[in-house]
């Protein structure tokens, strides 16, 4: 059986295999974001914080793969 053209031509990205470590953070419902349990600062402001991956973190290369 022949493979579909998308199976032959689609570009496949390697996906990261790490899950974010949310230890030490809590989600503030009223604010709508994660904060450090001790300092109460937004987690995104801390350099060691690795944000959870969402659909918004999809891979965007800026490259047009048409015709490849």
First-residue to last-residue Cα distance in the chain: 23
Closest-CA residue to 13 (of 63, 49, 54, 47)? 63
Question: Could you tell me the two tokens for 65?
Answer: 């793969």
**Does the residue 7 lie in any domain?**
no
Which structural domain range is residue 43 located in?
A: 18-53
| Cα 15 from Cα 6, distance rounded (Å) | 19
Q: What is the pTM of this model?
A: 0.47
How confident is residue 7, by pLDDT bands cut at 50, 70 and 90? confident
**Structural domain contains residue 68:** no
Q: Answer yes or no: is 29 within a domain.
A: yes
Distance between CA atoms of residues 55 and 50, nearest Å: 15
28: in domain: yes
Q: Is residue 67 part of a domain?
A: no
pLDDT digits (tens, 9 = 90+) for 26-48: 999 999 999 999 999 998 888 87
Which comes out higher in pLDDT, residue 33 or 19? 33
CA-CA distance, 44 to 33, in Å (whole number)? 9
């Amino acid at each position: 059986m022949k493979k579909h053209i998308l199976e032959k031509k689609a570009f496949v990205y390697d996906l990261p295999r790490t899950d974010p470590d949310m230890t030490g953070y809590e989600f503030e419902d009223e604010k709508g974001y994660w904060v450090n349990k001790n300092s109460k600062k937004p987690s995104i402001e801390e350099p060691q914080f690795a944000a959870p991956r969402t659909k918004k973190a999809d891979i965007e290369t800026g490259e047009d793969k048409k015709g490849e």
